[in-house]
A and B are shown apart, each in its own frame.
Chain A
């Protein structure tokens, strides 16, 4: 018993803890108990992932964890390295802050007897995202993608209004298309490689690629898998599910879906690039180039759509489309520097977009459910804390120095220098997109801060202490990521090096 390496058990413990809490929550008698279980679970996972991150960064290691008694090609496996640990820490931190900050929305918008069910879905979603981060087996990834889909649909429809049902249906149909394509990809890959675990698959794929056997299937299958992941993570032409769903869902759900769920698919995609298809195959098949082009298109089109939108939450949803475009652009550059920028942007967007959704939800609530931007005039004066949060988030998205969003844009610009032939495109589109971002975020910021003349001053909106703590936490995180970005980027660089080994 004395040889157990407890640190290596952390990925397994975190996934199972989340799943078990999801199951136990079914017995909770009301939402408060469920919330307590959830918070304790996420907190414990956060601490454990922090320990894991510390250890793997110190040792510069990645390790495989056997799920059962059988080694690699026979049994399931988990894989953990700096990237996985970093993402797990971020996800649990964001989850903790979002749910505790958005507790009021849950309590208000979800019917009392169904609140425990909402928390079941949250726990399961969290477990599934952790599993997607850590998994080293492609079929496990598929099953957890389905859990993710069901749980995220449940989060959208939990509000119980007809609009949320319509949003859910749209989201469900499009996500199922994506997972169908992914499953088809998995089966073809299995039939040509004969393996389901990442390392063995990679070996087989590189072998196939070199001999030239099964060339067409390999090309098509790579395309399908990435189309599937792109559909799931709402890359530009497939974004139509986001606005309706995010607008109709409660702000907490929207924040989690936009900040975390989309990202979990992208992380799976990154792991597929490095651990299954290998950089060589990806470049030769030009998959990265395609992702790059769609990423650029998404950056511009997302902002253009956002500008035409009059509802705040829909505007934020379209802004997510633009930010997903940034991430895919970074991935599509095809260099490790680009990938570092993309990973950093995943973190930056996760902490910023959830903050924006929470603040926006708070404004809407103060306004008695009116959600158009012109209703928001003076909202920040009644609710200064949310106003500051919204402003910080918006400025970070636009790319103002000292904030997280700025750093990721600097990294994107730097990365473009290293990828030949793409520099001009990246720089131009980055500039255009920043201007567009400013054009739709700044008016809303001005609007919320400008007083309305002739109306007697409304009293300050009541803000629950938890909401305040979470907003302040997000703001601090945003500044922290904007100022002390060096250690984070160093970890990301190291982890990408380890992934690509």
Chain B
């Protein structure tokens, strides 16, 4: 099986996932870390949505009164992605609130710096 050429959506989405993953691991800056996380999530959603697409068919909304499964694309991935987007935005908001609270106390967005300061505070 050799579908890399036709599966260009999936290929792009796994590359995006990798970049997001790298951002999450590498970036010291918390805001960029969380942007990376968002990229990672949207990459998975792109992957799912691409899996639901069927060439030559239309969006899963009743058009011209045609009730026939071979006329519409697969609605399942769209539903899953819709749920996923909500989860992603909630987590983004939560993590940004956390960032603000951390900044208020430590005065920096650098995770290493924050870790160091908190260790110093802990004493010894």
Name A's B-contacting residues (CB within 8 A): 139, 143, 146, 149-150, 153, 157, 162-163, 165-166, 168-169, 172-173, 176-177, 180, 183-184, 187-188, 190-191, 196
What's the least CB distance linking A422 to chain B, in Å? Answer: 33
> Is the pair B118, A168 in contact by a Cβ cutoff of 8 Å?
no
Contacts of A191 in B (CB 8 A): 48, 51
- Report whether B30 and A190 are in contact in the complex, using a CB–CB cutoff of 8 Å: no
Give 13 A-B contacts (CB < 8 Å), ordered by A residue. A139-B80, A146-B87, A146-B90, A146-B91, A150-B90, A166-B118, A169-B98, A169-B111, A177-B21, A180-B17, A180-B21, A180-B41, A187-B48
Contact yes or no, A183 B98, CB < 8 A: no
CA–CA, A163 and B106, complex, Å: 10
Contact B91 A190 (CB under 8 A): no
Q: State whether A172 touches B98 (Cβ < 8 A).
A: yes
Contact of A180 with B105 in the complex, beta carbons under 8 Å = no
CB distance from B52 to the nearest CB of A (A): 9
The reply to whether A172 and B51 contact each other, CB–CB distance below 8 Å, is: no
Interface size class of B (residues with CB under 8 A): 20 to 34
From 79 to 124 in chain B, residues with beta carbon under 8 angstroms from any chain A beta carbon are: 80, 83-84, 87, 90-91, 94-95, 98, 101-102, 105-106, 111, 114-115, 118, 121-122
Docked CA distance A177–B36 (Å): 11
A190 touches B48 (CB 8 A): yes
Closest to A163 in B: B118
Residues of A within 8 A of B20 (CB): 180
- The answer for the CA separation of A216 and B17 in the assembled complex, in Å, is 19
Among B33, B48, B77, B98, the residue within 8 A (CB) of A165 is B98
Asked if B73 is at the interface of the complex by the 8 Å CB criterion, the answer is no
Q: In whole angstroms, how far apart are the Cα atoms of A176 and B91 in the complex?
A: 9
The CA of A184 and the CA of B42, in the complex, are separated in Å by 11
The answer to whether A190 and B122 have CB atoms under 8 Å apart is no
CB distance from B54 to the nearest CB of A (A): 13
Q: A143-B87, A163-B121 known; 8 other A-B pairs, CB under 8 Å?
A: A162-B102, A162-B106, A162-B118, A162-B121, A163-B118, A166-B102, A172-B94, A190-B80
Complex Cα spacing A143 to B85, Å = 11
Smallest CB separation, A212 vs chain B (Å) = 11
Q: Let me know if A169 and B106 touch, CB within 8 A.
A: no
In the complex, the answer to whether A165 meets B84 with C-beta atoms within 8 Å is no
B118 — which chain A residues lie within 8 A by C-beta?
A: 162-163, 166
Query: CA separation between A183 and B41, bound complex, in Å?
Result: 9
Q: Is the CB of B51 within 8 A of A180?
A: no
The smallest beta-carbon distance between B53 and chain A, in angstroms, is 11
In the bound assembly, the distance between CA atoms of A165 and B99 in angstroms comes to 9
Say yes or no for B31: interface residue by CB 8 A criterion: no
- Chain B residues with Cβ below 8 Å from A176 are 24, 37, 91
Q: B122 → chain A, closest Cβ, in Å?
A: 7
How far is A168 from B24 in the complex, measured between Cα atoms in Å? Answer: 16
Which residue of chain B lies nearest to A311 when distances are taken between CB atoms in the complex? Answer: B122
Residue of B80, B105, B106 with most chain A CB atoms under a 10 A cut-off:
B80
A431 to B24, CA, bound (A): 39
| Residues of chain A lying within 8 A (CB to CB) of residue B41 | 180, 183
Contact A163–B94 (Cβ < 8 Å) = no
Closest 5 CB pairs of A and B: A162-B105, A191-B51, A187-B48, A166-B118, A146-B87
Q: How far is the CA of A397 from the CA of B52 in the complex (A)?
A: 50
B72 beta carbon closer than 8 Å to chain A: no
A165 x B44 contact (CB < 8 A): no
Q: Could you tell me the distance between the alpha carbons of A188 and B115 in the complex, rounded to whole angstroms?
A: 36
Residues of B close to A168: CB separation below 8 A: 98
Say whether A187 contacts B51, CB under 8 Å: yes
Q: In the bound complex, do residue A169 and residue B102 qualify as a contact, i.e. CB atoms below 8 Å apart?
A: yes
